[in-house]
Structure 1
Amino acid sequence: MTADNATAGRAPSTVGVFSEPVRPVGGRWIAAFALAWLGVWMAQLTPVQLLLPAQIQDQLRTDDWVQNVVAFGIISGISALCAIVAFPVTGALSDRTTSRLGRRRPWIAAGALIFALSLLVLGVQHSMVGIGVFWCLALTGFCVLTAALTATISDQVPVDQRGYVSGWLSAPQAVGIIAGILLVTMLALGTFLGYAAMAVLLVVLVIPFLFIPDAVLLREQRSPWSFRGMVDSLWISPKRYPDFGWTLLSRVLVNFGNAFGTSLLLYFLEFGLGDKHAEDDLIVLVLIYMVFVILAALVLGRLSDVLGRRKAFVFLSSTLQALAALILAFVPLFSVAMVAAGLLGLGYGCFLAVDQALATQVLPDPETRGKDLGIMNIATAVPQAAAPLLGALLVFVAGFTGLFIMGAVFAFAGAVAVSRVRSVR
């Protein structure tokens, strides 16, 4: 169903829910949106980068990094399966929600609660099974929350403001990584207090966005529903909607490329370069990466709005990430790694902001924005979850050089895929 067909014949109130927004969102909206994402990224990335690997290593009681990475990869891979289901299903349910609070806010609140409670319980687990189960529940809460939160961009932000607003989704990711890691390490919080701190900050930072108005869908405005119909709707034909398919493929490829370049960076420093100060030097690289992610997300995201172009920026961002991976592959020095971290941050920050804006412009049906963006979100979450295990296998077969070359190949392939999009400049 096209946007024109979707709005034809509806009552004005219905069109108001499903039509493209035209009024720019203000500073209060953007600030609440950015704070919510800061809480989300701290709660998701601090466990991925620090708490979860350390918790797994404590259970395995081995210094063999391959065993640790494989165990972490298995748990991440299982959680990725949860994301594959949770993202589109909760997005589809939020599309049909008729709560007086709106379509998205109930799911944002529920997702934050599930996420936070799962992190608290995860912090007291002392078995691999318990760690796996509650990390999967935590990631499910993350999916519920972010599927609804991402959909608010399509619901409320006009097209010519989406690059800038998406920058405020992306920039907090970089801040969240370093802020979470520094909070846990500098205060020596340990496993339980580390998870608890992330859970509390998540809830506190998401709450302001729950006061942002959300359009209410009336019961009579919903199309007929069936379980079979919902399952069928999870498949979006790339032949019928080629731009959606190419954008989804590009997102999968680029996120795999980025994850191959970042997920095993600590092990690259420690075992690839023989760095005796690997943890401290990792923080240096993360800081460099963070600065360039923030600059690229906010500046280049806004520039894409001004120029009315998306594809060129996504193509450039993918190419920069590929270049960074090739530098790491063929010049394995810490000084060079700092340059690569800057290029990677510049490329990925631009990609996060502009590709999110691009994704909102290739959705098949305004009635199913939440579900369709949930499918798009799979392409971000699954590569990040699967990359540690796949990356460890690549290192085992071809060393760190092979890992980074593969990262470059995936990033270049993502650039080629986005060039095939036709409906967006």
Structure 2
Amino acid sequence: MSAETHRPPVSAYAEPTRPVRAGWIAAFAGVWLGLWMAQLVPVQVLLPLQIAAQHSSEQWLSSLVAYGLVSAVAGAFVVVAYPIVGALSDRTRSRFGRRRPWILGGVLLVAAGLALLGVQTGTVGTVVMWTTTMVGFCMASAALTAVMADRVPADQRGLVSGWISAPNALGILLGMVLVTAVFTTTASGYLALAVCAVVLAVPFLLRLHDVPLSDADAARLGPATVRGILSSIWVDPRRHPDFAWTVASRVLINLSNAIATTMLLYFFTFALGLDDPTGFLVFTTVIYMVVTIVASVGLGKLSDVVGRRRVFVLASGSAQAVAALLLAVAPAQTTAIVGAVLLGLGQGCFFAVDQALATQVLPSAETRGKDVGIMNIALAGPQAFGPLLGAGAVVAFGGFTGLFVASGAAGLLGAAIILRVRSVR
């Protein structure tokens, strides 16, 4: 069937009670797979190589800083776009529902940005096209995360969140293989990722029953004006402290991951001096991927069964911090492999369980899209600013040791902060 086999709720704001089925989850995981490939593979491989080609080989530090600046400019747009897109999707009135138009539009913008990114030879064009790609990613991912809050019962969200995390790891590996072994030029690699993003989104777009807003539902949101939308974005941390603590924890744990992992190609090349740094990056990514998939699906489901989220987030942030600190005190290929295992355990657990926890501390049903948009800033923002902060740490500390120490400290602090959440066990 091309539609969900269970009846969607009558009101767009009704709390979901019927479990989603395997076919729905598979299609949901598929669209995330395409988006993760489109966002993470350029960050890990294509953008560093493209920007390095725009600088001489003797200017590797300048190349590293330029890479950080490209990511930071896109990150600034991400921070602004996420809550605005989420708020707009909350108010979207179409026969196709609230979220589906934004998923489709976002995927198409991602594809266009990647296709054009592949032909850029200068920094300005690279910045513009990568920013376009990231805005499209914001549109699609904000709507998709809101769909989970709209359609998935709370006691199933750990499992479903695991199928957001598993494609994250699988997407990095498949994308790396695609752009290093099959489509070996920068332009063809970007184009392949663009096609994958569109193709993998189609099954979910066809299957999703997205409930349109009724007149009564729309009236509860207030005026759909620029002022009304912008004023609705603010969430008072005094009234919603658990929401605020969750956002803070997410920022720190994701920043811990981003400032370390986005610098790995440079670390393997210039700190460890490996003959084949790209090949070793793919090798450690395979390890990371396998562990992440097992951890995300298994631990996400376990958190549903035991009815607890915070202890899993605490453990996941701690595992990521230990991985970074190991690289700080003992930089070597063996340590990098151990770090990949720990990072996989931490990331798999974190993505699955924290995403479920985040949907349980949203301030209201009416503003799910906007609220998960704010939550997603804490995911995409660190990924975007991570390269710049990582490059700054390398420059400031004269090497990669300070980078990994900063990563470990951020992870530990983010893990501790989640204990301040009170409404979720």
- Kindly state the Cα deviation for residue 199 of structure 1 after the two structures are TM-superposed: 0.8
Counterpart of 1:366 in 2: which secondary structure? coil
Q: Does 1:309 align with 2:308?
A: yes
- The amino acid across from 2:256 in the alignment is G
What pairs up with 1:240-279 in 2 under 5 angstroms? 240-279=239-278
Aligned to 2:205: 210
Tell me the secondary structure at the aligned position of residue 400 of structure 2: helix
Counterpart in the other structure of 1:164: 159
- Unaligned 5+ segments in structure 2 are 1-7
Partners of 1:98 and 1:219 within 8 A in 2: no
2:73 aligns with 78
Counterparts of 1:330 and 1:213 in 2: how far apart (Å)? 51
Q: Which residue of 2 aligns with 1:299?
A: 298
* AA matched with 1:119: L
Deviation at 1:69, TM superposition (A): 1.3
| 1:14-413 → structure 2 map (5 Å cutoff) | 16-211=11-206, 212-223=208-219, 224-225=222-223, 226-398=225-397, 399-413=399-413
Specify the alignment match of 2:424 in structure 1. 424
**Paired letter, 2:280:** D
Distance 1:230 1:195 in 2: 34
* Greater displacement, 386-395 / 56-65: 56-65
- Pick closer, same or farther for the CA change 1:229–1:299 going to 2, 3 Å: same
Write the letter of the residue equivalent to 1:218: S
TM superposition score normalised by structure 1? 0.95
Paired amino acid for 2:210:
D
1:257, 1:410 within 8 Å by CA — same for their partners in 2? yes
CA distance in 1, matches of 2:245, 2:120: 41
Q: Deviations over 1:77-128 (max 9, x none)?
A: 0101111121111111111111111111011111111111121111122221
Provide the rounded CA distance (Å) in 2 between the counterparts of 1:51 and 1:62: 16
For the residues of structure 2 that align with 1:277 and 1:124, how far apart are their CA atoms? 26
Tell me which amino acid in the other structure corresponds to 1:354.
V
After superposition, the C-alpha distances for 1:198-240 in whole angstroms (9 at most, x for unaligned) are 1111100001111121111123421321322221222211111
Per-residue Cα deviation, 1:46-93 (whole angstroms, up to 9, x for no partner)? 211122222212222334321111111111101011111211111111
8 A Cα contact 2:39 2:137, kept in partner: yes
Q: 1:14 to 1:270 in 2, by over 3 A?
A: closer
- Structure 1 residues 218-227 or 151-160, which shifts more? 218-227
- 1:6-34 deviation line (CA, Å, top 9, x unaligned): xxxxxxx9973212101000011101001
The Cα offsets for residues 266-311 of structure 1, whole Å up to 9 and x where unpaired, read as: 2222222222232221111111111111111100000000001000
Provide the C-alpha distance between the structure 2 equivalents of 1:171 and 1:65, rounded to a whole number of angstroms.
33
Tell me how far apart the structure 2 counterparts of residues 66 and 325 of structure 1 sit (CA, whole Å). 21
* 1:301-322, Cα deviation, whole Å (9 max, x unpaired): 0000000100000001011111
- Measured in 1, the distance between the counterparts of 2:10 and 2:365 equals 10
Counterpart of 2:181 in structure 1: which amino acid?
A: M
The separation in 2 between residues aligned to 1:277 and 1:202, in whole angstroms, is 29
Deviation of 1:188 (Å) = 4.1
SS where residue 135 of structure 2 aligns?
helix
Q: Secondary structure at the match of 2:331?
A: coil
Q: CA RMSD of the aligned region, Å? A: 1.4
8 Å CA contact retained: 1:14, 1:221: no
Q: Find the residue that maps to 2:11 and give its secondary structure.
A: helix
Residue 6 of structure 1 corresponds to: none
- Do the aligned partners of 1:244 and 1:363 also contact (CA within 8 Å) in 2? yes
Aligned mates of 2:60, 2:358 — CA distance in 1: 37
Partners of 2:137 and 2:49 in 1: CA distance:
21
Q: Distance in 1 between matches of 2:314 and 2:269?
A: 32
- Normalising by structure 2, we get a TM-score of 0.95
Residue 419 of structure 2 aligns with an amino acid whose one-letter code is S
Counterparts of 1:73 and 1:341 in 2: how far apart (Å)?
23
Distance 1:303 1:383 in 2: 27
Counterpart amino acid of residue 421 in structure 1: V
